[in-house]
Amino acid sequence: MMRTRPLKVALLGCGVVGSEVARIMTTHADDLAARIGAPVELAGVAVRRPSKVREGIPQELVTTDATALVKRGDIDVVVEVIGGIEPARSLITTAFEHGASVVSANKALLAQDGAALHAAADQHGKDLYYEAAVAGAIPLIRPLRESLAGDKVNRVLGIVNGTTNFILDKMDSTGAGYQEALDEATALGYAEADPTADVEGFDAAAKAAILAGIAFHTRVRLDDVYREGMTEVTASDFASAKNMGCTIKLLAICERAEDGRSVTARVHPAMIPLTHPLASVRGAYNAVFVESDASGQLMFYGPGAGGAPTASAVLGDLVAVCRNRLSGTTGPGESAYAALPVSGMGEVVTRYHISLDVADKPGVLAQVATVFAEHGVSIDTVRQQGKDGEASLVVVTHRASDAALGGTVEALRKLDTVRGVASIMRVEGE
């Protein structure tokens, strides 16, 4: 039997995502009620500009006093889509204190203060759901947290930012330079006027922190994630990648150490083989590859951003939280029992592609090979091209630690025959 008294929802933020949440709540009201077991009612919408006309939202629901809205006491669920750290953090904790569960899409806040927010939710016996914080419409957090709860996840490797994937895909398919591809992404609305958060990897790093924490049952903060942007990737890097049968993607990589005693989380550009499923992810799409003991390899793919896709994930959480509300239960909270140490980038072991500008004369290759050997870095392949006394030397290594590679590059720079290190890129996905 359906309960007739509606569950009341407060919406914080009514931008691209918030307006879609409100629209779907209205247009799909009957279906949502049937799935939940009770109607849901939009009880208030907190905005910064109340005078703006918002289609489908009665003006009497609009307020600029978000704090008063979450303090009302009759609110069952607060949906937070304003982003940023403050006032979102204070509003969420206030919502818990006044009896509401929370659905959030705030990756930056969850990456920085997820443990404290989970603790507040647990203290007050409320839910904190955030599927939309990582990969838009792609179901990812719930599978990691629930479907794979009986498995051991060893690695999460993914493209979690549509803007950077669009830019790199454009560079790969057309030969465009970075700035040209960025300009097109901006013109099409894929990139913000200030794209720093995307192209410098901040957005992906926040998502990596969330994913690593869930996958490895360990608290991973944003500060624990190594971050390297993609602004230095060039057309020549793509040419080198193609010579290896690879392409280049900005990847979020979360993995256990081989001995299982620590984890790492990182974001950086990397070459991946064209045979890897992530290599075929085009345009502004996202995809995440999960490797676990029992399930093996799983891939989640779809639109990772945008108003409607993100709102779909928010509404999925809203349905789950409302069901919990009706049954008097809460869903899974934070799972950090493993408490594994988070290692620095120096401990990461992978392959490397190094491009050197060297003098074109006898003995150079031998000198370079000696430096690699002295630092314990094994060479897989070498390619050399020379003209007019100058040459390009491309070295691809076997798996080595980042610390060992760093020492190798430092020593290479001291050789008289090495004019410069043109590029260094990791090779992943093998």
Q: At what angle do helices 202-216 and 107-123 cross, to 10 degrees?
A: 40
- Distance (Å, rounded) from C-alpha 138 to C-alpha 18? 18
Q: Which of 111, 272, 121, 139 is nearest to 206 (CA)?
A: 111
Q: Write the CB contacts of 212 (distance below 8 Å, at least 6 apart in sequence).
A: 156, 218, 220, 224, 225, 254, 263, 265, 342
**How distant, in Å, are the alpha carbons of 39, 83, 114, 220, 323 from that of 326?**
11, 28, 25, 32, 5
Q: Is 207 a catalytic residue?
A: yes
**What is the distance between the alpha carbons of residues 211 and 141, in angstroms, rounded to a whole number?**
7
Using an 8 Å Cβ cutoff, are 227 and 198 in contact?
no
Q: Decide: 42 and 57 in contact? Cβ < 8 Å.
A: yes
E strands, 165-295, where?
A: 226-227, 246-256, 263-273, 285-292
Q: How far apart are CA 96 and CA 129, in angstroms?
A: 13
| Strand 285-292, strand 153-159: pairing | antiparallel
d(CA 409, CA 230): 20
Closest CA to 334 of 195, 175, 128, 186: 128
Integer Cα distance of 70 and 63 in angstroms:
11
Q: Of the listed 71, 207, 249, 387, which one is catalytic?
A: 207
Q: How many CA atoms lie within 13 A of 396 on its CB side?
A: 14
- Angle (deg, nearest 10), helices 307-327 and 29-36: 40
Catalytic residues: 207
